[in-house]
Amino acid sequence: METKILSLDSINEDKNILFEAAQIIKNGGLVVFPTETVYGLGADATNADATKQIYHAKGRPSDNPLIIHIADPKDAENYAFTNSAYYLLAERFMPGPLTVILNSKDSIPLSTRGGLDTVAVRCPADPIANELIRLSGVPIAAPSANLSGSPSPTGIDHVINDMLGRVDMIIDGGDCDFGLESTIVRIDSEDSLTLLRPGKITVNDLSAAGFNVMLANAVTEQLRDDEKALSPGMKYKHYAPKSPLVLLDGSRDNVFKYITESKEDNIAIIAYFEDMSFYSSCFPKATVLNFGNKEDKLTQAHLLFKLLRDTDKREYKTIYAPLPEEDGIGLALYNRMIRAAAHQIIRL
Ligand code: TXA
Ligand code: MG
């Protein structure tokens, strides 16, 4: 398939690009578009044939459901059964990086929602994404625009690497703002939620909006073999770089000792900015990658998937990275990194 790549810095720049993209969606085609979290691989969520093409393009198992993207929180009425908790969340966090699981209406075909009774709904804040949905006149089903198993794409080179020849159009909107996928919640009652995937909207943010928030086990733990995944995506290997990633939890001196004793030359170290020159001088043969300042979680979120993809350019014996703390946005980093590392954590 020939893929058209068009760049767009703002929605006012060239509206024709968005009209053309919307026409592709209406006709059942595939368009990759930027959002404030990661790039999405979009198709008409109400068209079963179109959403089947998404699974095909990504190589994604068909029981792993898609998020439907709407231009206005009220549009959820057409596709799902809403309630007061949904509207409270919408008022506080939408448009924005929050996805809410609701009971689905029949307007969303089973293939879009991986055969479940529920559907994931998100209203993106990114102006290109929002305008594309509005012009398409349908909800856009969109998983992250990576090949299944790879880190989500946060820059156009990632998208081109994974999706060229697999989709009709790619809209290049530059780097995504946040860099990790949306927070996903399930509504359990009027004032309680289960967090299925942490993101920019934190547990604190949700609590401050008046909700009791339970953490699904799989957010911080490995899913047991006999445990049912609350979100199908939890059971799949994810975000993995090609070389093995190991998370080290300990002081810089202990990390130094551990890496020295492991006697590996061909390694990469994802390091906080403050520690970079220390590691570069201790391990001159290692590739040392800048993960931003230790306290700057936003920069780390912005960089994580890019760094994981950068390590794929070579084969390393091991990639080492620090284990993030689990508070605030740190929980989203922790969740993505323990999965990228296949739960290989070494406490020093
Ligand atoms: O930020 C994001 O959410 C990005 C952008 C493109 O919007 N999208 C994204 O989609 O991350 P995806 O498909 O890569 O991840 C969606 C996750 C999957 O783990 C899936 O299992 C879960 O949402 N999910 C979708 N529908 C669900 C449902 N009805 N119940 C539980 N989990 C669901
Ligand atoms: Mg994904």
For 37-78, write each residue's pLDDT tens digit: 999 999 999 999 999 999 999 998 888 999 999 999 999 999
Residue 237 is predicted with a pLDDT of 63
Mean pLDDT of 108-130: 97
Using a CB cutoff of 5 Å, list residues around ligand 2, an ion.
144
Beta bridge partners of 184: 99, 197
| Whole-angstrom Cα Rg for the chain | 20
Distance, CA 219 to ligand 1 centroid (Å)?
A: 14
> Residue 332: pLDDT above 90?
yes
- Judged by average pLDDT, the poorest of 152-161, 166-175, 251-260, 327-336 is 251-260
Query: Which residues are near ligand 1 (CB < 6 Å)?
Result: 35, 37-38, 40, 64-67, 99, 101, 113, 116, 118-120, 122, 142-144, 181-182, 184, 196, 231-233
Give the mean pLDDT of 112-139.
97
Instruction: For residue 228, name the pLDDT band (cuts at 50, 70, 90).
Output: confident
Do residues 34 and 176 touch, judged by C-beta distance below 8 A?
Answer: yes
* pLDDT for the residue numbered 32: 98
pTM: 0.97
Find residue 81's DSSP bridge partners.
103
Distant-in-sequence, close-in-space partners of 35: CB < 8 Å, separation ≥ 6 = 69, 124, 126, 129, 142, 176
User: Which residues pair with residue 141 across a beta bridge?
Assistant: 43, 68
Q: Would you say residue 236 has pLDDT above 70?
A: no
Q: H or E stretch including 156?
A: helix 156-163
Give the dihedral of Cα atoms 35, 39, 45, 48; nearest 10 deg: 180
Number of residues written out for the chain: 348
> Does residue 157 register a pLDDT over 70?
yes
State pLDDT tens for residues 267-320.
999 999 999 999 999 999 999 999 999 999 999 999 999 999 999 999 999 999
User: What does the pLDDT look like over 184-216, one tens digit per residue?
Assistant: 999 999 999 999 999 999 999 999 999 999 999
pLDDT of residue 222: 84
Residue 143, Cβ neighbours under 10 Å: how many? 23
Is beta strand 4-7 parallel, antiparallel or unpaired with respect to 169-172? Answer: parallel
Return the pLDDT at 265: 85
Query: Looking at residue 142, what is its pLDDT?
Result: 98
